[in-house]
Chains A and B, each alone.
Chain A
Amino acid sequence: AQKITQTQPGMFVQEKEAVTLDCTYDTSDPSYGLFWYKQPSSGEMIFLIYQGSYDQQNATEGRYSLNFQKARKSANLVISASQLGDSAMYFCAMREGIGSGGSNYKLTFGKGTLLTVNP
């Protein structure tokens, strides 16, 4: 079963408007982390924002905010005031513990959402 689900293969938004990219996750681990990465057409992976499962407040980084709804297991990315340079693929990822001890992790990624910002 998919652990990270991004249901929007593609999204369009007008420049200067806000957009929400959806992400739901599945885990039984009480301690986990959620990430969003951006991949422009040039291919590199750029870290945007992180939310820990115990964090009380939603994470924000500049124009990016993470709408964390723990009971719904959702971690949607909100981009405010979209810019043309925001056009890219966006990946949601979840940190999962591996092995015993709880100190080693891997990230599991969703399939991504391709965002296009129109002028």
Chain B
Amino acid sequence: DADVTQTPRNRITKTGKRIMLECSQTKGHDRMYWYRQDPGLGLQLIYYSFDVKDINKGEISDGYSVSRQAQAKFSLSLESAIPNQTALYFCATSDSTARDTGELFFGEGSRLTVL
């Protein structure tokens, strides 16, 4: 099983629907991140969390919200999905306690299509 698991892996939805992407990790890491990937734009940071009580907006947080339900779980919500939120979404973790290079460990990605 993957250390960082994202569900669903693929989702097609309609404009205006509420969508939740879930991320859980078994790595025991304290930091969790949500990134969005669009073709030609690289990865852009949506939200990040350094522990359960610490949640911060990234570069492109408009239209998104998050919940850190536990150290191991970090969910991303689109309250009212719109077509330009069609993208590949990555959850990632990093560990502040080990040899801390800041390396990110990624989930397999969630491909979201908004029609």
Contacts and interface: CB of A to CB of B under 8 A. Distances in A.
A103 B42 CA distance: 25
A95 B33 CA distance: 13
Contacts of B48: 98, 106
Contacts of B50: 104
B33 A45 contact: no
B8 interface: no
B106 A44 contact: yes
A44 B43 contact: no
B68 interface: no
Interface residues on B, range: 20 to 34
A33 B103 CA distance: 9
Interface string A84-119: 000000010101001000011111111110000000
Given A103-B96, A105-B94, A106-B33, A91 B43 contact: yes
A33 B104 CA distance: 12
Contact of A107 (B102, B109, B111): B102
Nearest to A112: B42
B88 A43 contact: yes
A110 B40 CA distance: 9
B74 interface: no
Report the 8 A-B pairs with minimum CB-CB distance, sorted nearest first: A95-B102, A45-B106, A105-B102, A109-B42, A109-B43, A111-B42, A43-B109, A104-B50
Interface of B: 31, 33, 35, 40-45, 48, 50, 56, 58, 88, 90, 92, 94, 96, 100-106, 108-109, 111
Interface of A: 4, 9, 33, 35, 43-45, 47, 50, 52, 91, 93, 95, 98, 103-112
